[in-house]
Every structure is written in C-alpha cells, then in structure tokens.
Amino acid sequence: MLCDCLRQLWLLTRKNLILTKRSKLWTLFELILPILFTLPIIILIVKNGTIQLSPGRAFDAVPLDGGAADVTRAVGFVAAIRTRWCNSREVSLAY
C-alpha cells in the first residue's frame, strides 16, 4: 500500500519535471515572478518593521473549579473572562 503511494508520487513528480523541461517560459513564470512580487514586500517589512516587547509578568497559581465561577473570577491585575471577552458585566453563559 505504502509502496504504491510512493511509486505514484514518484511518477507524478517525474511527469511534472518532464513538463517543466518542455515549457521553459512557464517555469519562469512559476519560479521567478512570485519571487519578484514578494521580494519588495519582504524588504519593506524588514526595513520598516519595529519590534516591541512587553515586560514579562509572573502569575501565581489560581485554583479552578471548572464551573461558572471561573468565568467571573478576576486574578490579580487581569480582569474576569466575561469582562475581557464581552466587555460587559451582565453576560449569560450556558454550558
């Protein structure tokens, strides 16, 4: 079974290489033009990109019950899940 799949993959790859040799212009379009289109974009991103790193934070262990109380629990400087996700205090969640 695996040998049949590998044989078919080899045959399709060989066929593709033969077709590539026959049409040089199409090979040029497939290889060179995508590089020419993406190269300016990559250069702009690398040249003008900035990296901003946030300072690291340490979190203490939080006991979780696996119930609805976990959704409303605020831990330290982090707001509760329903406040962060829904931006509201009155949200009904269903399980």
Coil, helix or strand at residue 75:
strand
The whole-number pLDDT of residue 67 equals 79
- Using pLDDT thresholds of 50, 70 and 90, give the confidence band for residue 60: confident
Q: What whole-number percentage of the chain has pLDDT above 90?
A: 22
Question: Long-range pairs for 74-82 at CB < 8 Å and ≥24 separation?
Answer: none
18-50: pLDDT as tens digits: 888 888 888 888 888 899 999 999 999 999 888
Tell me the pTM. Answer: 0.35
Q: How far apart are CA 57 and CA 5, in angstroms?
A: 50
Torsion of CA 75, 76, 78, 81, to 10 degrees: 20
**For the chain, what is the mean pLDDT?**
83
Nearest CA among 75, 79, 82 for reference residue 58: 75
